[in-house]
Amino acid sequence: MLLFTGACSENTITGATLLPMMKTTDSVELIFFKSPDSTRFFTYIATTDKLLIANLVHDVCGAVQQERDCPKEGKIYCFSAGQIINTIYFVAEDAHCRHMRYIRNGRLYFFSLSEQLANQLTWYKSMAREPSGTDSTNYQLNRHVR
């Protein structure tokens, strides 16, 4: 019986097995697109909020979900010790399409996005500000390296 359970768990793909280093995330930068799927105009905010990070890590360590074809609302840069360890795209406001996704080993993986994390992202979106320029080109040039 234990061998059967072990074999089943090996066939289940989870974010925890795909990218175990997500558990070392110590800060995030939240990017909110002004128009879905349009990365040129956005607002952003950086945070070390432990509760937000714990909820994010919990959600992306879960089981891989079925692919969803929904426009992205934003992305999250995840940092550990000043280095980007992952970039996650998300849909939080559309409850019927709520999810996160990232690329690992050349494949796109989808994860559930909890209502709690969606609410936190909505709150942070209200606090986010435009970069000093008006597009992502200026943002990249003016961005401070952690």
Three-class DSSP category at 70:
coil
CB 78 within 8 A of CB 85: yes
The answer to which of 38-42, 60-64, 138-142 has the lowest mean pLDDT is 138-142
- Reported as a pLDDT band with limits 50, 70 and 90, residue 134 is low
Confidence at residue 12, expressed as pLDDT on a 0 to 100 scale: 82
Secondary structure letter of residue 134 according to DSSP: S
CB 118 within 8 A of CB 93: yes
CATH topology of domain 14-131: Immunoglobulin-like (2.60.40)
- Reported as a pLDDT band with limits 50, 70 and 90, residue 133 is low
- Higher-pLDDT residue of 6 and 132 is 132
- Reported as a pLDDT band with limits 50, 70 and 90, residue 118 is very high
C-beta pairs of 7-15 under 8 Å, 24+ apart in sequence: 12/63, 13/63, 13/64, 13/109, 14/61, 14/62, 14/63, 14/64, 15/60, 15/61, 15/62, 15/64, 15/109, 15/111
- Reported as a pLDDT band with limits 50, 70 and 90, residue 100 is very high
Reported as a single tens digit per residue, the pLDDT across 47-90 is 999 999 999 999 999 999 999 899 999 999 999 999 999 999 99
pTM of the model: 0.82
Q: Where are the domains of the chain?
A: 14-131
- Reported as a pLDDT band with limits 50, 70 and 90, residue 36 is confident
Q: Report the amino acid identity of residue 71.
A: P
Confidence at residue 74, expressed as pLDDT on a 0 to 100 scale: 96
In 3D space, the residue among 65, 74, 76 whose CA is nearest the CA of residue 14 turns out to be 65
Q: Which residues are within 8 A (CB) of 9 and not within 5 positions of it... i.e. 6 or more apart?
A: none
Confidence at residue 59, expressed as pLDDT on a 0 to 100 scale: 97
Confidence at residue 11, expressed as pLDDT on a 0 to 100 scale: 52
How many CA atoms lie less than 13 Å away from 68 in the CB half-sphere?
A: 21
Q: Report the amino acid identity of residue 45.
A: I
